[in-house]
Amino acid sequence: MSKVIIYTTPSCVYCKMTKAFFKENNVQYEEKDVSQDAVARDEMIAKSNQMGVPVVDVDGQLTVGFDKERLSQLLNIKPR
């Protein structure tokens, strides 16, 4: 199973879409709320050079935003 970390904020629509996609496909993930956690925010920026969320880390492979096709590829999820 892949190690999945998602960097989010509570008001982010694309974060919610990404988490819903994970739930639909039974993907376990660790969520880090960068609006509340300065260490996680710094970690996200260092990894991605991005201030925007979501940033998804799948075994070291980063995806910025909700990119269903790329996440499916990284997680070996077959299209429905």
Residue 20 has pLDDT above 80, yes or no: yes
pLDDT in tens, 32-54: 999 999 999 999 999 999 899 99
Delimit the domains of the chain by residue range: 4-74
Comparing 6 with 51, the larger pLDDT belongs to 6
Helix (H) or strand (E) holding 7: strand 4-8
How open is the CA angle 36-18-20, to the nearest 5 degrees?
105
Burial of 36 (0-12, 13-18, 19+ CB in 10 A): exposed
**CATH number 3.40.30.10 is the correct assignment for the domain at 4-74:** yes
| Cα Dmax for the chain | 37
pLDDT of residue 71: 97
Q: Distance between CA 74 and CA 51 in Å, rounded?
A: 22
